[in-house]
Structure 1
């Protein structure tokens, strides 16, 4: 029987000491600053272990990827956690898609987007004690084992 594992690696970014030195960028869908580096990173309710469990339960790995023993390599979900803790503007970045598993990978990426969009509210990121919107990158990797 084939087994697969879904590994979620939460990135820790450097902490900005002075809010005036923190990197910012302008979100395409909003007219406010969205931070890339903050003093306190957004946090999923229950922490990294709860996030890993949530994703393992909610991301569906298509059968074609399992049958072909296809390891997805690094896949990253990129999104914004706003100042209220809601997740939006979800995007998935991956290596170039193999023709033989393109449909399976597209289904996998759609499943990631769906799972991330349905996440419960996060604890927002902070700069200077104030809640701010933050770009967040969440690496996801699937390893298929015999």
Structure 2
């Protein structure tokens, strides 16, 4: 694991080894993009990988403006995307932003607390769950226990009342009423940085209809089926699997070294369905990552993803499983 970490991040960040552990440090912009330029960086992420597998991998983020803690939690991967246990996020002023609990499989469970920037509690949600004898989690629909505005007025209690949902930068926003923990009646808001506004109608939590309006006043109606969809490769995932299997050229050095595992390529499927901005997310070395990039760039045009009926850019991670043991064949798994 340590060798993989060093290969992947060598040109993007600082990797130090001390006290039997590895610290991987990465700079990010305010838009959560990796950067090498300090003047463009908004925060730094430090992933601490312990020497002993029995210990937890820890991720911490710090605001560069004042070195204040931005995020802290335990993760099961070096990319700090799969959390387990408690995850804390804080505002730049030091006040708590959220407290969220995850299962060992990175599923959100139990009670989640969200806060206003002034430190007041904003909302409380509960994610019911059960664990079967095999240790598998079953997650139920979340219950909206409370919503309180920034001056302390409780507008929703035990699943009934008015609530607002937004991100910290107001990039997306929605407001409306809940009845018995489910959306009811008219909801409205904006998304994609206020480029689009929308009005939706719900009955017992089910979307009945909606209309998105762009900055020029053009309207796009949608329903529960056409509201949102993930990008789709021509012919579906089976077609993509066949394409990768037939076109991935296994590097000879990797074959001779018996390399097995998963290589991941990250890219964006733009509004027109064109894949672009390719980069290696997870590499096994020996040219396996570069070979994955080459085959990914040969993909056909996709059917674009949609949000509230509007085509949008969607980030996608393509995992390619390499197996030199069985007939030196390349397997693809999603």
TM-score, scaled to structure 1:
0.63
How many residues matched? Answer: 105
Once the two structures are TM-superposed, the CA of residue 74 in structure 1 deviates from its matched residue by 2.4
Trace 1:93-108 onto structure 2 (pairs within 5 A): 93-94=281-282, 102=285, 104=286, 107-108=287-288
1:54-86 CA-to-partner distances (Å, cap 9, x unmatched) read 111221111222222221x22211000001110
> Which of the two has greater helix per residue?
1
Say if 1:75 and 1:141, in contact at 8 Å, map to a contact too. Answer: yes
Superposed CA RMSD: 2.5
| Aligned position for 1:120 | 300
1:102-127 CA-to-partner distances (Å, cap 9, x unmatched) read 4x2xx221221121112110000011
> Which of the two has greater strand per residue?
2
| Aligned position for 1:45 | 234
Gap runs ≥5 in structure 1: 1-19, 27-32
Partner SS for 2:254: helix
Runs ≥4 residues deviating over 2 A? none
| Aligned position for 2:290 | 110
TM-score, scaled to structure 2:
0.29
| Aligned position for 1:137 | 317
Gap runs ≥5 in structure 2: 1-164, 172-191, 193-226, 327-334
Bigger radius of gyration: 2
Counterpart among 53, 65, 75 of residue 254 in structure 2: 65
Which whole-Å CA distance do the structure 2 matches of 1:54 and 1:141 have between them?
Answer: 14
Counterpart among 75, 87, 91 of residue 263 in structure 2: 75
Trace 1:4-19 onto structure 2 (pairs within 5 A): none
Which whole-Å CA distance do the structure 1 matches of 2:265 and 2:245 have between them?
Answer: 14
